Amino acid sequence: TIEELGLKGLTSRFISGHLETARALLDLADEGHCELGVLPQGTVTYLAEAQGRGEDSILSEVGVGTFMDPRVGSGSQVVPGKGEQFVTAEGDKLRYRMPKVTTACVIATGADSEGNIYMKDAVIYAETREAARAARKNGGAAIVTVARIVPKDEDNIFLRADEVDAIVVNPKNEMMISILQNKPWLWLTPSAKGNLSNITRRVQAFNKVLKMDPERGDVERMLSRQAAGIFADVSHPGAHCIVGYGLPQEVGRQIELAGLGKNVTFLLETGVYGGVPAPGIFFGMAFNPERLMSSAEMFHFCEDNLDTTILGTLQVDSEGNVNVSRKAPGVKNYIGPGGFMNLVTSAKNIIFVGAMNARSKIAIENGEVKLIEPGIHKYVEKVDEITFSAKEALRLKKNVYYVTPLCAFRLTEKGLELCQVAPGVDIERDIIANSGARINLPEDGKVKVIDSAIVTGKGFALDWRN
C-alpha cells in the first residue's frame, strides 16, 4: 500500500483525492518532511487519462465554489500557502493539472509470455490503464505486478506488451487485503453469480472480526430507511445510483430490502457497474457486478447518467454547504474529498445522510424518536471547508436533501428548509434550539411527519413516486 512509501527521504510530495488512510504520509507531512496536495479523485483519473494523450491539463466545472476553487479556498494546497498550486480559475470553470507521471506501478491478474496484460477475475480496474499509458507517454516506465502467467487471449488483452516496460510475477498478489488473486472470491467479479444472502453473511462476519464496518443500531437503521424513502421520492425505475462509504452504504442496503434494488443500477467510482455495493473493508467492490470499467471511464459515464448519489457529511451550514474533507485543524486530521466533488457535480439528485449533532443520544421508544442529549453541533453557521457548494447546486438546479435522525431538510434559495420531522420530535425544542445553522420552515408552516414504518422498520416497504 501507499503506507510503505511514508519514509523520511523517500517521499517528498504526496498528492491524492483521499488522504485519511495514508497515516504514515500524514505523519511525515506533519513533521515537515512531505508536501501534501489534494485533487478530486475523478479529476486525478482524468488528468492521468489526459497525460496519456499528451495533454497536461483539463478544464472542468468540478470544484467550482468549493475550497478547490482558489477564489474560495486553498485549492490543491492542504496547508494553505504551502506547496505548488495545481488549480487555477478560468472563467466559470477550473483548470487542473498535476506533475507528469513518469513511473506507474500498477497491479493486474495475469500476463502472457509475450508481455500482454490481463484482468480476468479482477474486482476493480481503478486507474491501472490510465496510469500506465501516462507514464509511457511521458517517456517513463510502466511496471505491472501480476499473480500468474497465462496463455495469450487476443480478445481480452487489457494492456498490450508495447505499453508495458516491466512485469513482476508475484503469486501472492492480493485482489484485496488477505484475498489472493490466485484464489479469487468470484462473487466479487463479473465472471460468476453468488447467493446474495450467503455472501452477505460471510462478509459481515469478516468485517466484524476486522471491525471495519460498525454495527448499526436502531437509530442508524431508521435514518437509512428515511433516506431510502427520499430516494424513492426523487429517483425513478432504471436509475443509476452511487452510495458513499459509511452510513450511505446502509441506505443502499435498505433500498435493496425495500424491494427497489431490482430497478436500480448501483455504480462505484472504482469502475464497478451493477451488483450490490459491498460494505466495510470490501468498499469499492460489489457483489455480483455486471461489468467493470476503469475509474476514468466510470466518472465519464456518471457525467451523463448518474441520477442520484447518497453521501455522508461532517458539517452542514446555514447556506446548505457541506464539509466532508477537513475533520479538524491540522494535517493529521485531513481527509480529502475523494470522488465526492465529481459525484455531486454529475448527479441530478443528492441525498446527504448523517447525524445532526455529534455525540448526541437518541432513542426510539414506542414508534417515536426521543432526543436525550443534543450533543455537539454538526449543523453550523459556516462550515470549516466547503466541499459541496450549495450555491453551485442551486445554479445547476439539483435536488438536494439532508437527512438526520431527527428530521430532513431540502436545499432552497433561503438555505436549509425543514421538510420532514420524526414523530416525537419537537421542532422548536429539539431541532431549531439544537442547531448552529439557520433553519427555515415552509411558508405554510406544514412539515411532513415521518411514517412509523420508517421509524420502527415494521412493514417498511417502498414504491416509486416518479
- Euclidean distance between CA atoms 255 and 234, whole angstroms: 13
pLDDT of residue 214: 66
Residues 70-123 pLDDT 10s: 999 999 999 999 999 999 999 999 999 999 999 999 999 999 999 999 999 999
Render pLDDT for 236-283 as a digit per residue (tens, 0 to 9).
Answer: 999 999 999 888 988 998 998 888 988 999 999 999 999 988 887 788
Q: Which residues pair with 327 in a beta bridge?
A: none
Model pLDDT, residue 217:
87
CA distances from residue 64 to 133, 182, 350, 443 in whole angstroms, order as listed = 29, 44, 17, 31
Question: At which residue does the C-alpha cell 491501472 appear?
Answer: 128
67: nearest Cα among 84, 89, 46: 89
Strand, coil or helix: 464: coil
- Strands annotated E in 73-147: 87-90, 93-97, 103-107, 110-111, 117-118, 141-146
Residue carrying C-alpha cell 496510469: 131
Per-residue confidence (pLDDT) for residue 310, from 0 to 100: 98
- List 272's β-bridge partners, or say none: 268, 292
Which of 182, 200, 293, 299 lies closest to 250 in space, CA to CA?
Answer: 200
| pLDDT score for 210 | 67
The answer to whether 244 touches 340, Cβ cutoff 8 Å, is: yes
pTM of the model: 0.95
Would you give the DSSP letter of residue 69?
A: S
Taking the C-alpha atoms of residue 235 and residue 401, their distance in angstroms, rounded to an integer, is: 12
- Distance CA(263)–CA(260), nearest Å, equals 6
C-alpha to C-alpha distance for 453 and 459, rounded to whole angstroms: 6
According to the model, what pLDDT value does residue 211 have? 66
For each of the chain's 466 residues, which pLDDT tens digit applies? 788 999 999 999 999 999 998 999 999 999 999 999 999 999 999 999 999 999 999 999 999 999 999 999 999 999 999 999 999 999 999 999 999 999 999 999 999 999 999 999 999 999 999 999 999 999 999 999 999 999 999 999 999 999 999 999 999 999 877 789 999 888 899 977 777 777 777 777 776 776 666 677 899 999 999 999 999 999 999 999 999 988 898 899 899 888 898 899 999 999 999 998 888 778 899 989 999 999 999 999 999 999 999 999 999 999 999 999 999 999 999 999 999 999 999 999 999 999 999 999 999 999 999 999 999 999 999 999 999 999 999 999 999 999 999 999 999 999 999 999 999 999 999 999 999 999 999 999 899 999 999 999 999 999 998 8
- The single-letter code of the amino acid at 347 is A
- Measured from the Cβ of residue 458, the count of other Cβ atoms closer than 10 Å reads 8
- Percent of the chain that is helix, strand, coil (3-state, to 5): 30, 25, 45
Q: How many angstroms separate the Cα of 429 from the Cα of each of 338, 370, 372, 381, 424?
A: 36, 12, 12, 18, 11
For residue 463, the number of C-alpha atoms closer than 13 Å in the C-beta half-sphere is 1
Short-list 177, 199, 178, CA closest to 188: 199
As a dihedral over the C-alpha atoms of residue 302, residue 303, residue 309, residue 312, rounded to 10 degrees, the angle is: 100
